Every structure is written in C-alpha cells, then in structure tokens.
Structure 1
Amino acid sequence: MRIRIAAALSAVAATALLLSGCAGAGSPSASPTPSASSSCLLDAKPGKASDAVTLEGEGKDLKVTVPSAADVDKATAVERTVVKKGDGKDVKPGDLVSVQYRIVNAADSAVLDSSSRGSDDQIPVLLDPQQQSLFVAALECQPLGSAVVAAIPGKMFGDGGKSVVVYAQATKKLSTVADGTAVAPVDGMPAVKLAKDGAPEITIPKADPPTETKISLLKQGDGATVASGDYVIVQYRGVTWADGKEFDSSWKRGTPAQFQTTGVVTGFKKALEGQKVGSQVLAVIPPADGYGAQAQGSIPANSTLVFVVDILGTVPAAPTQ
C-alpha cells in the first residue's frame, strides 16, 4: 500500500527542507518515517533571533511576539532557545508526543497554526523528519516537558520561503500501541495474535473473501474520534487475503505512520473514520474498495486486502490560511 500525506501545516508546507540531507529516505511503500534514534539531526542552538522572541500568557491564551529586532530573515541557520527545561527523557526523532505549539509569521507575529484546535491545547505529533521536520528541529534532544522557541529563516524552506517562529512544548510521550479494551473477535474474520511488542500476526480463514468491506474492533479506545480529513497517526500491518503475505507494515519500519484519511483507499478510510484513538481495527477490503484491477507494487491486481490498524492519534486539518 502506498500511503502519502500532504503537509499537515499548510502555512509551512516545505518543512522537510529543514533537515534535508540529515535524515534517510523512507520506505517506498509508505510515507517516509525515521527509525527511532538517539542521535540529534540538527541540535539547533540559541541565537539573537530566538532569544528576542517574547511569550505572554499560557494555555490557549499563550501569545508569541516576534520583535522587529529579532530580524529572523538574517539568521544564518535555525536558532532554538530553551525557555523552560523539562525533567523527562530526551525527545528524539521518531517519538510520538503530545505537543502544545504556536507557529507565527516572523514578520508580524500572525498565528499561522496552533495546537488550540486540539484537546486541551494539545496535539499528537509524530516526530518524522520528512513530514514534521519543523517540530523535529524544535523539540529533538531536549528533555520531555521542555518549552522552546525556534526561529527559522525563510531560506530554510527554499526560494521564496517566509520566516517563521515556533513555540513548542512536548508534554507527554504517547503510546505507539493501541491501548483500548479488548473486544471479542468476530466470526469469519481473520484471526489476529499480538506479539510482545504489539505487532499483529494475521491468519486468513479458509474461506472465500467477502465482497464488501468488513470492519471489526479488536480493541475499543476511548480517545478522540477520527473525523473525515483528519491526519491520523497509526501502526498497521497489511496482508493479502489470497496468501496471507505481508505487503506493508509500519511495525517493520520501527515507527508509526501518519496520513490523511482522505488520502488512502476507500476501505482503509472506512476503517478509520468514526473510530476512537486507542482502538485497534481489523479491516477486510475487497478490490472495489482497494486497488481494483490495478496491481500496486507487490499487491496483485484484484486483491482483497486485510489490515490491522492501531489508532494512536488524530489531528484535525489545519484551517486554510
């Protein structure tokens, strides 16, 4: 399965350029994500621009102001000032964390995006260098609980890029395994057994595949509900009904994946939308809701697909600027 995501932050769509050359290429069969690593990719240092930014208020009332003296455009690299040192373990690329943040235009301090659309002014963020490099640059290699200000000159986003300032605080490390309550399996569906790390083993029944998409819960979560167009963070494994062979797995890559519900095949979309964070979903997707008569990578034409998906987080799409 080939999963792609548009940049979650429309105002800073080119964030991957920040860490260009620092992170390895991702799997060709999914959105690229890093293997968990303790090494810093950028380890930005404080500078005149980041030191000059002021913060007022807290929570949803937090205001980030960039004085003209900061002159972020003239910064030669990403600058990062730690305004509060946390006491947790260091945050690293590949982590899934809950984040409070504000992203503002360095020219006028106008808010471009914020975590205020999330629950309790928090949004789950997968620190993926290819898709969320802005947050990687801000949060990596600082203890959990640290609050930072990052000043990012426009040149880091490529030609015509606009300078931005990011306030971010990673408040909690989130589970990378569905933690909902176990639900009794449904007769006729594939059998699922979980390894110690939570990775699913899928056994296909000796029967003809269904002609309509079938979805059942293996675990019932109690978190936020996934809405259409949300960006979801998941662990998943996919196999074909015909032979049980794996064709894609976030578990194999060693880190969750993230994508928009409207950017995947119809059956996968049906498996996600309306479900709660913390749930584990089993989906059997016939060709009509999958890839139809078209072969897709290692997936033969007219394949029925079977997925086990752990829903770890969901993020409403950022408002259009």
Structure 2
Amino acid sequence: MRFRPLVTLSLAAAAAVILAGCSGAAEPDASPSGTPGDLCVAAAPSGAASEAIQVSGDEGQPATATFSTPLDVTEVESTVVTEGSGDPVASGDYISYGLTAFDTTTGEQLGTLGYGAGELLPQQISPDSVLGQFFGCAPVGTRVATVLPSSDGESAPVAYVVDLLGVTPLTATGADQQPQAGFPTVELAEDGEPTITVPQTDPPTDVQLETLKLGDGATVEPGDTVLVQYKGVKWSDGSEFDSSWSRGMPASFPTTGVVDGFRQALENHTVGSQVLVVVPPSAGYGNAEGNELQNETLVFVVDILATQHPQAQ
C-alpha cells in the first residue's frame, strides 16, 4: 500500500499535515474514501523504528518516550502500544486524539497537542488519511507509537505517540432547554437534522438567540475555529438557503469568517450546545449589495460539535 508523502518539519508543521482539510477549512471533504473494512487494513505496518520507541505514561495523557538515536526512518510505521477497550472507529468518523512528538535525531520532545480542551479539532478518519495510517480501525482508547519519514530530505523525521481519545458526536448532545415563546420552532429528525418553522409574524429587528440544548464542553472563544452542523432558512418564506445537513457533512470555519449574527450563535456558547439565532439584515448580509440574502432575516439552528482556540492554532 502506498502512503502519501508527509511534511515533518516540526510539531506544528506535522500537526498541520494531520489537520489538513479540517482546521480552518470552509468545509470538510464531500465524502470519505473507502469503507470501514478498508480502514482496518489502512494502518501502516509496525517496523523496527516504531517498535524501538519505549513509551511510558498513562493513556489519554501526554507521553514520555525513549529510543536510541538517530532512528532510521524510511517509511510510515505504526506500533500499537496499548489497545483500547472502546468501540472500533469506522471510516468517516470524526475522532479526537492527542499526540506527543519527538525528534528522531536527538530524541528531544517537540511538544504535545490535543490533551487540553480546545487544542485540536476532531479529524475525520478514512483509509487515505494520516490518522487512518496511524490507527486503522482501532478501538477508542488505543495508543500507538509512529514514525514519519521526512518528505523534503532535509528535516529530521518525527516520531509520535498518539492516543485515540474518542469519536465526536455529529449532533448536539447537551441538555434540552425550555423553548421561548415567539421564537421559530424546531423539530429534530432521528438523525438530528432540524426542521425549522418560522412564526407568521414580523421578524425582529435585532439579533435574537435561544439555546435549545445546553452543552457542557469547552466555551467557544472569539476567533476560535469550530466544527458545527447547521441549517439556515429565510424568515420570509421558511425556505432553506444553506445547510451542512444537506451536504451530508459538518462544516469547519473560524467564528470571524461568518456574518455577525451567526458569530453570536457561536462565541461564548459551549460545545455540545444547539443554538437558534434570528439574524436581521443588519447582522447578516445587509451590506452585501446585490446578494440574494441582502434584505432577508435569517434563522439558523447550529449544533456546536467542537472548537479550537486561536492560541492552539
């Protein structure tokens, strides 16, 4: 099986490779390639380099690793340190993970990511993703030691200890809240997709917010990059104009990359929450001359699935 070349200049650069197509992207890929069965054979083989890494520390926490330097790394290798006891992951799942990176020339720890709230967004796993090479269809709780060759022939290869922390739900999981009178009503399908019914009244002239489900995860900070499910309809006729549900995938973007009313439905809310927001033109597309939504009051229902703080990016 051939693996894509990977840039391994530093912890930040290598993490960027893992996160490519997720953090800061307008939306993830349309569909993952392969099937759950393919994922099981996608994991890179164990080899002499990955097996030489001696790992200590509790799973789910930053790891300590020792090995004789320099490691001879010529291909991607992945060795299971601890097999988890959770459910196996499947192609298309969004997984949360933590990693500790090490320079294979010096043995120096380069840093850790993903163990603190808001450090990394979940990443979709598939047979041709980097995380698919690390884990295959391993069960949640698995820890692996991996090595990645340098793609530029100059930088040192990087070794990782990576923990498969969990699978992120693709709908809001927070506690139901009492609906407010006068707001649009929301009914959820079995898969969590909302149907929004707009009241037969004049729309409000300022932004109106309602928390439908209250999550207990990390708080979205200004400038965060979020992973969300959302649907937007027009107040004027209730018609849908945009929806991650219709595309079949959650979307990822910075809170600064959306209209102000949508931003208010994200910032200072918690992961796991579902928020309804009514956005008048002044907080929407009112200044976008010629936009079809310029004069429309918009209604969004947003499920906040995960967030990544600016300092982590």
Q: TM-score, normalised by structure 2?
A: 0.78
Identify the residue that residue 137 of structure 1 maps to in structure 2.
133
TM-aligned CA distance change 1:171 to 1:117, over 3 Å? closer
Matches of 2:247 and 2:208, distance apart in 1: 27
Matches of 1:127 and 1:98, distance apart in 2: 9
TM-aligned CA distance change 1:203 to 1:162, over 3 Å? farther
The 8 Å contact of residues 88 and 143 in structure 1, kept in 2 or not, is answered as yes
Paired residues in the alignment total: 294
Identify the residue that residue 309 of structure 1 maps to in structure 2.
302
The 8 Å contact of residues 280 and 311 in structure 1, kept in 2 or not, is answered as yes
SS in 1 for 2:122: strand
The 8 Å contact of residues 293 and 301 in structure 1, kept in 2 or not, is answered as yes
Identify the residue that residue 96 of structure 1 maps to in structure 2.
94
Which residue of 141, 164, 181 corresponds with 2:175? Answer: 181
The 8 Å contact of residues 52 and 69 in structure 1, kept in 2 or not, is answered as no
Matches of 1:228 and 1:244, distance apart in 2: 30
Could you list the per-position Cα deviations for residues 200-251 of structure 1 after superposition, in whole angstroms to 9, with x for gaps in the alignment? 0011222333332211111122222222233322222222323322233232
TM-superposed deviation, 1:105: 4.0
TM-superposed deviation, 1:255: 3.6
The 8 Å contact of residues 139 and 169 in structure 1, kept in 2 or not, is answered as no
Matches of 1:65 and 1:292, distance apart in 2: 58
Could you list the per-position Cα deviations for residues 246-292 of structure 1 after superposition, in whole angstroms to 9, with x for gaps in the alignment? 23323233343333323333222211111122211001222333333
Matches of 1:296 and 1:60, distance apart in 2: 52
Matches of 1:195 and 1:209, distance apart in 2: 26
Identify the residue that residue 243 of structure 1 maps to in structure 2.
237
TM-superposed deviation, 1:13: 6.2
TM-superposed deviation, 1:194: 0.7
RMSD (Å) for aligned C-alpha atoms: 3.5
Identify the residue that residue 228 of structure 1 maps to in structure 2.
222
Structure with more helix by fraction: 1
Could you list the per-position Cα deviations for residues 108-149 of structure 1 after superposition, in whole angstroms to 9, with x for gaps in the alignment? 433244224338xx96623256xx944343233212222112
Matches of 1:290 and 1:160, distance apart in 2: 48
| Unaligned residue ranges in structure 2 (runs of 5+) | 1-10
Identify the residue that residue 25 of structure 1 maps to in structure 2.
none
Identify the residue that residue 50 of structure 2 maps to in structure 1.
50
Matches of 1:289 and 1:260, distance apart in 2: 17
| Unaligned residue ranges in structure 1 (runs of 5+) | 1-8, 20-27
Identify the residue that residue 114 of structure 1 maps to in structure 2.
113
Q: Mapping of 1:152-301 within 5 angstroms?
A: 152-155=148-151, 163-294=157-288, 300-301=293-294
The 8 Å contact of residues 34 and 128 in structure 1, kept in 2 or not, is answered as no
Larger radius of gyration: 2
Identify the residue that residue 8 of structure 2 maps to in structure 1.
none
Q: TM-score, normalised by structure 1?
A: 0.76
TM-aligned CA distance change 1:274 to 1:204, over 3 Å? same
